[in-house]
Amino acid sequence: MTSHLHRCIIGLTALTLVIAGCAGSSDVAETAVEAESSTTVTVVETTVPTTPSTVPRATCPEAESGELRAVIEAQTFAISQGDFVAALSYSSASFRSNTTAEQFERMISYEYGFLLRNPSISVAACQLMGDSRDLLIELGTERRHVMAYVLTPDEGQWRIDVAALLGELDGMTA
């Protein structure tokens, strides 16, 4: 469970870096600034080095983005029908090995209750991250929820490895 939690945190951190548009260099710059009081202030700016695993190589091809969206839609539909066994089947093997259908149902009910209403889904962004795909998804109509998903190839199909609620947008549509 701990390794899965770490993978979730790493995946969400990588997605946050992608969304924030992180820089691809490791430079330290010092600038001497002359202040009005004749005091010299040194400003140090540091950029965090990025590794190939955290920098997206490209956006997902349109056809693949559609496949990934279909997996999320299928899981969301199963959740809205109360079929948590089927909904859990769209999750990665590593996620399924750490949770039961009953635990999954409780998690959805308490933390992601809006999924019970089968919200509309739109892909806001899709990035290639090694073998995984990081997606930024908007769900809903009147009240829109923004979620981050990480899908991985698993058992010959795309499976949801990580899903996290990032925020909510009231009264906005995609």
pLDDT one-digit tens code per residue, 74-108? 999 999 999 999 999 999 999 999 999 999 999 99
> Does the predicted TM-score (pTM) go above 0.85?
no
Q: What is the mean pLDDT of residues 119-127?
A: 94
Domain boundaries, the chain: 62-170
Residue 132 has pLDDT above 90, yes or no: yes
Indicate the CATH number for domain 62-170: 3.10.450.630
- 121's tokens: 């889904």
Q: Which residues of 44-57 are buried (b: 16+ CB within 10 A; e: fewer)?
A: eeeeeeeeeebebe
